Chains A and B, each alone.
Chain A
Amino acid sequence: MTFPALNPAALLNALPGNIAQGLVWGIMAVGLYMTFRLLHFSDLTVDGSFATGGATAVMLIISGVPSPLALLAAFGAGLLAGLVTGLLHTALGIPDILSGILTQIALYSVNLRIMGARANQAVSVDKYFLVISLRKINRSLLTGALIVLAICVVLYWFFGTELGSSIRATGSNPSMAKAQGININTAKVLTLMLSNGIVAMAGGLLAQYQGFSDVNMGRGAIVIGLAAIIIGETLGEAIFGRHLNFFGRLIFVALGGVIYYIVVGLVLWLKMPSNDLKLFTAMIVAAFLAIPNLREKARNSYGKAAKKGGAGNGDAGAK
């Protein structure tokens, strides 16, 4: 089989765009990392708060607010979304995944309201100064990389502070955290807020990058974020092993987003049906999440135990 239409130059041309988009999703993944890995909380709010960030940023920019400020406002909107999920979970006792889903669904309506009852809103780079834009790809790559770096530095600092340590303790062992005088509910709410703030900011960046916000732009965000986390961690651990510190981990998670979008670009270049993209992504994430468990099972299986122990001969394994 030959691919006459496959032009290497087309792949190369698409690369900068894929990297820029990957950087934005990398920021989203770093936000997700806080809840998913540090708090052990699967937060589905992000599908909604990502779009909230996009909607907030675009509406503010087209009403005349400078785009960096609009980005800050998107962060603030994300904080609020996280606060809602956090209160549903801690104050009202709703299980973590359900709290996130409830906020996510509610945000769909909220996002439509923000966008003036329209499913999408355009923001043109010709009319406004945008932080990043696919029309200004070189500058966007630099800005994107700087934002990633800044966020990773801030988070590295934050999780090294007394407050950040108390969040890590809450995620690692809530009983221990309580015994050490940590209010685990506050810690959870705070983490959910910060995480969704960063996710919403990523949404605000993506909307500027692509020139519009869309009420569906966050659909499946958590899966893309997880893919980035898994790709990044796997790669980071493969290269640095046990020397991978927290800062390196955050950087690699962001890089995971970039690699993900490079692979997506490759898949599209190969003329695979783009409608199947989410299916492939879900399958890859499921596979990676399953690997540690399957490995453990293989090491520790009844079948293996039976083989080792022989057919009911109790002494066979004892030598």
Chain B
Amino acid sequence: MAMLELNNVRKIFNPGTINEKTALEGVSLSLEEGDFVTVIGGNGAGKSTMLNAIAGVWPIDEGSIRIDGEAITGIPEYRRARYLGRVFQDPNTGTAADMQIDENLALAARRGQKRTLRWGITRKEKESYRELLATLDLGLEDRMTAKVGLLSGGQRQALTLLMASLQQPKLLLLDEHTAALDPRTAKKVLEITNRIVTEQNLTALMITHNMKDAIRTGNRLVMMHEGQIIYDVRGEEKEHLQVSDLMKKFEQASGGEFANDRMMLS
């Protein structure tokens, strides 16, 4: 059974106004368990909109979404969280700055569970977090009681990744999570991402603007354009993909307006 199933999902923003925009135009996508899919496409192609539709940031207008066979179309964002690990583009979005590193992890460890009047973090948990943080090799294991607001963007993204994968999610959503980082930090965070996804055999969707990363990472690649998936390639075919192939594909789809787009970067 598919781990994620999008069936003809449509979303229109600001319907009936001059700002009306069809953001998703009947997107269908099916992910098998363990699929690690990179998503590319120009600005406004609908990549983030697709991830937000899955996460339930707002209700979709048409179509249906299933995770591991369960229909989640009518379920609000906070209740979908039990299935999803999420890392955002802005490193500030994924963590609570006023809370300690270990407290953030403890919050994530209880994703999808009822929050009771039991103590928010146990001693045993703290030990396991120390080991877990040590795997990041960022020295965070010695700063467990530091407020997350004191961390750098890269450290916060790495922590968010840990939090997203702490309760093994059915689907990991990575919304350009390396885009706000400097190249070296971005590389490190991508390495951590690869390690976590491989180790836990996670199913993941990763948006990126970096075409090389998109080709090198994961086992499958989809390209979006104007709210639709226009290209879906996997396995061996993907391994042999070149950046030039993607550029050609994109030019075909967009009718040669490629030169203006941010996808030109790398």
Residues of A within 8 A of B (CB): 158, 160-166, 168-169, 171-173, 175-184
Contacts and interface: CB of A to CB of B under 8 A. Distances in A.
Given A175-B88, A181-B78, A161 B96 contact: no
A180 B107 contact: yes
Interface in B72-97: 77-79, 81-82, 84, 86, 88, 92-97
Contacts of B98: 168, 171-172
A161 B119 contact: yes
A67 B87 CA distance: 53
Interface of B: 55, 77-79, 81-82, 84, 86, 88, 92-99, 103, 106-108, 110-113, 115-121, 163
B97 A172 contact: yes
Contact of B107 (A158, A165, A175): A165
Contact of A176 (B95, B112, B117, B121): B95
Contacts of B92: 173
Of B78, B79, B84, B112, most A-chain CB atoms within 10 Å: B78
Contacts of A177: 78, 96, 107
A169 B94 contact: no
Contact of A184 (B78, B117, B119): B78
A318 B98 CA distance: 35
A173 B95 contact: yes
Contacts of B119: 160-162
Given A161-B118, A162-B118, A179 B86 contact: yes
A181 B81 contact: yes
A173 B97 contact: yes
B115 A163 contact: yes
A160 B110 CA distance: 14
Nearest to B86: A179
Determine chain B's interface SS by DSSP, over half rule.
Answer: loop
A166 B109 CA distance: 12
A175 B93 contact: yes
16 contacts: A160-B119, A162-B116, A165-B121, A168-B99, A169-B99, A171-B98, A172-B97, A173-B95, A177-B78, A177-B96, A179-B77, A180-B110, A181-B111, A182-B78, A183-B78, A183-B79
Contacts of A171: 98
Given A161-B120, A165-B120, A166-B115, A173 B96 contact: yes
B181 to A, nearest CB: 18
A182 B115 contact: yes
A165 B110 CA distance: 11
B96 A168 contact: yes
Contacts of A161: 115-120
A162 to B, nearest CB: 4
B94 A176 contact: yes
A177 B95 CA distance: 8
5 tightest CB-CB pairs across the interface, nearest first? A181-B81, A165-B120, A172-B96, A162-B115, A172-B98
B79 A181 contact: yes
A175 B175 CA distance: 14
Contacts of A176: 93-96
B22 to A, nearest CB: 25
B234 to A, nearest CB: 28
Contacts of A162: 110, 115-120
B107 A166 contact: yes
A163 B93 CA distance: 21
Contacts of B111: 180-181
A272 B34 CA distance: 75
Given A161-B115, A171-B98, 4 more contacts: A172-B96, A172-B97, A173-B95, A173-B96
B116 A163 contact: yes
A183 B79 CA distance: 8
A5 to B, nearest CB: 49
B116 A165 contact: no
A183 B120 CA distance: 17
Contacts of B94: 175-176, 179
A181 B99 contact: no
Given A166-B107, A172-B96, A172-B97, A180 B81 contact: yes
Given A168-B98, A168-B99, A172-B96, A180 B118 contact: no
Contacts of A168: 96, 98-99, 103
Contact of A169 (B93, B96, B116): B96
B228 to A, nearest CB: 27
Contact of A165 (B84, B103, B163): B103
Contacts of B96: 168-169, 172-173, 176-177
